[in-house]
Structure 1
């Protein structure tokens, strides 16, 4: 997996660039941007009762520096990203594209909480022709990403 510099992230835009500018703390914290929250289920975690148990992993687990990135999808609720075996200063990010073209219009992220090594994002609604993808970011760099689904 190739690493991208902060300058590349800023030049290309999207959630990853915003993550590079978002301060990381020791406690887990959700961040979002663009028009995230515009669709049903956005702003809720995948454990919300109406969505719980409906998600399945799509695509292969991606790895970088011993950390894992997984993308989960529900045809009822949308998608979320999860990272595992993560170090500090890392975040799970879900980018969502309104048009299906694979350009992020909205994004949500979750940092790794102190004392644990995983994190997962709130739901991104990639239903009705929208698409999304998951990213693993650490210290302002994208270390792994999935395809757009």
Structure 2
């Protein structure tokens, strides 16, 4: 895939590109795009000691085909997305907007590892006027998403 076509896919939403990229390896791994990593705490999992225990679920759990999507926020660290009761070829995606307008500038995703039915993303920094939302994508399709917070 050329750099231009990947950039075009990511600008259009990113979830399909996330799944296309993550299906290359047999083991799930975090994938990111846009300017993800530009802000503090990005690139860390929510289990990092300085953030552990500071997250609370925001908004209602969203469902698609029996799978659950949850959005968690910490005023100290930022946010992350979690999916539960998931099937294979699905990913939790966190999209972040720099300006608070809900335009995706950066994203990070995590696919479901073989043998388990959940996944959660690394932290997205939606502090200081930035916003983020969670997304559940399976087989290249965006199934459900949360509001921007």
TM, length-normalised to structure 2: 0.90
Structure 2 counterpart of 1:134: 134
RMSD between aligned residues: 1.7
Task: Give the count of matched residue pairs.
Answer: 141
> Are residues 1:39 and 2:39 paired?
yes
Shift of 1:10: 4.7
Matches within 5 A, 1:55-70: 55-70=55-70
SS in structure 2 opposite 1:126? coil
Ranges in structure 1 where 5+ consecutive residues have no aligned partner? 1-8
Q: Distance in 2 between matches of 1:82 and 1:130?
A: 20
Normalised by the length of structure 1, the TM-score is 0.90
List runs of 5+ in structure 2 lacking aligned partners.
1-7
CA spacing shift, 1:17–1:138, aligned 2, 3 Å: closer
SS at match of 2:93: strand
Q: Deviations over 1:88-127 (max 9, x none)?
A: 0000000000010001100000000000000000000000
Superposed displacement of residue 27, structure 1 = 2.1
Alignment partner of 2:87: what SS? Answer: coil
